[in-house]
Structure 1
């Protein structure tokens, strides 16, 4: 049986249902992004750079929404959950708690930065696309580089947080073995994106994220405070 909340300090226990709701909220952010990018936003594969910039400007409002949900809101929910989960590590493994919490906060911060970069880049593209096309192209490629590095393509930091969480949970029986195993697998997928640019790893990290966040959310909501 999962014993996550039973191991938490009393001050953290009242927050576990809220953290559970936050985990589910993060899963819903992932689902929303999959729906938008899978069914609504489809950039033409054979478009040139100018056409891609025009597409981004045309769909600026919807794209900004995806950055708000998938990066800004997600990172805020994530930081709250990292704080609550930190209450568990404080009891059973202080060193692992410090490392895991650090990587969890790092993940939240870089996602927040990626989201704000994405939103501001759309505004800049709209400003320069007509007056200075060369500058617009520079902004376009800088946007790709920064957002992909910070959270759109490389999920290394989040992967390390999950690996630490899974390892400590397994060692101290803080979560069920299936959930621990799934956490470790998801963490390994995230870490692997540092060494491979294959889209399948990024997509797999996102798909498993929906399951993991829902699973963690239900575990924390069901536990007594």
Structure 2
């Protein structure tokens, strides 16, 4: 009986070590940071740059040239920093859920790390590409526009225009949490919806709608996830 009770505890409790900082605390802060980065990126592109209303490639290039410094900083934030912080969150969730649903969490963690790598790569390409476009624009605006048309699909394909990998990760994490009876049931069901929206963004006809829904709803999911992970960490430190 003692052995059975010990096994049950191992399946339902994350490995939280004593001390102010532990993997669950880091994971909770990482989730909240991801939400904040999402909001910052949306505010920059939609409000400051008004990028949604700049549709002509030549105008987009001119916008980049006029905002090179801020664009570089924001791209670094929403892609590279986002990806690095995502790794911490992926590992925290793996630690939290692996005992309750080991097979699903192995798959989820693999997709999470792949997504982080794709997002980081996308940001690096975006920044190098933007610098190249700005340099070309000074001597040949037409060539700069042509280069942008070649670079943009790569950036979008890796980290923005198609959210299928992030959607699969979110879906698998949510299903694993539901099966294990961990995190919060409402948050897990919401995560299933978020993940499905990301996966649907792979369908060309639903790409913009699915990607938009995925981005907006994942902000809410990240906030809820951060709160749950931080609450878990605090309870275990008492």
Same fold, TM-score > 0.5, yes or no: yes
1:178 aligns to 2:186 (yes or no) = yes
Structure 1, unmatched stretches of 5+, are none
Q: Match for residue 157 of structure 1?
A: 165
Report if the CA contact (8 A) 2:100-2:179 is conserved. no
Deviation at 1:60, TM superposition (A): 1.3
Residues 136-155 of structure 1 mapped to structure 2, 5 A cutoff: 136-155=144-163
The CA deviation string for residues 196-222 of structure 1, in whole angstroms up to 9 with x for no partner, is: 354222221111111111100000111
**CA separation in 2, counterparts of 1:93 and 1:171?**
7
How far has the Cα of 1:133 moved from its partner?
3.9
> Deviation string for 1:78-131 (max 9, x for gaps)?
001111111134312322122111000000000001111111111001111133
Structure 1 residue 56 and structure 2 residue 64: aligned?
A: yes
| Greater CA drift, 97-106 or 193-202 | 193-202
The correspondence for 1:123, drawn from 113, 117, 131, is: 131
- 1:23 matched to 2:31? The reply is yes
Summarize the alignment of residues 1-225 of structure 1 with structure 2, pairs less than 5 Å apart. 7-10=13-16, 14-43=22-51, 45=53, 48-196=56-204, 197-223=206-232, 224-225=235-236
Q: Which runs of 5+ in 2 are unaligned?
A: 1-8
Cα separation, partners in 2 of 1:46 and 1:68, compared to 1, 3 Å = closer
Q: Which segment drifts farther, 89-98 or 155-164?
A: 89-98
Work out which of the two has the higher radius of gyration on C-alpha atoms and give 1 or 2.
2
Match of 2:139, SS state, is coil
Tell me which of the two structures has the higher relative contact order, counting C-alpha pairs closer than 8 angstroms and 6 or more residues apart: 1
How many aligned residue pairs are there?
A: 222
1:89, 1:96 within 8 Å by CA — same for their partners in 2? Answer: no
Q: Give me the TM-score of the superposition, normalised by structure 2.
A: 0.85
Q: What's the CA shift for 1:44?
A: 7.7
